[in-house]
Amino acid sequence: MTERADRAERPGAAARRTAAQPERDPEAVSRFVERFAAQLVEAGVPRMPARVFAALLASDAGTLTSAELGERLRVSPAAVSGAVRYLAQVHMVSREREPGSRRERYRVHGDQWYEALTSREAVIKRWEHALREGVDSLGATTPAGRRLAETLAFFEFVDTEIVAMMVRWRARREELFGSP
Partner DNA sequence: CGCTTCTTTCACAAACTTGTGAAGTTAAGG
Partner DNA sequence: CCTTAACTTCACAAGTTTGTGAAAGAAGCG
Instruction: Residue 30: name the closest of 2, 4, 58, 7 by CA.
Output: 58
Interface with a second copy (CB under 8 A), residue from 81, 82, 127, 159:
127
Shortest Cβ 123–DNA spacing (Å): 17
Structural contact between residues 93 and 109, judged by C-beta atoms closer than 8 angstroms: yes
Instruction: Residue 83: name the closest of 119, 122, 56, 117 by CA.
Output: 56
Does position 126 interact with a second copy (CB under 8 A)? The reply is: yes
Task: Report what 43 binds from DNA, a second copy, none; CB cut-off 5-8 Å by kind.
Answer: a second copy
Does position 148 interact with a second copy (CB under 8 A)? The reply is: yes
Alpha carbon distance 16, 9 (integer Å): 11
Alpha carbon distance 133, 119 (integer Å): 22
Task: Report what 111 binds from DNA, a second copy, none; CB cut-off 5-8 Å by kind.
Answer: a second copy
Task: Report what 116 binds from DNA, a second copy, none; CB cut-off 5-8 Å by kind.
Answer: none
Task: Report what 171 binds from a second copy, DNA, none; CB cut-off 5-8 Å by kind.
Answer: none
**Part in contact with a second copy (CB under 8 A); list of ranges 69-77, 79-87, 91-99, 168-176:** 168-176
Does position 168 interact with a second copy (CB under 8 A)? The reply is: yes
Structural contact between residues 55 and 47, judged by C-beta atoms closer than 8 angstroms: no
Give residues 97-116 in contact with DNA (rule: CB under 7 A).
Answer: 97, 99-104
Alpha carbon distance 152, 3 (integer Å): 43
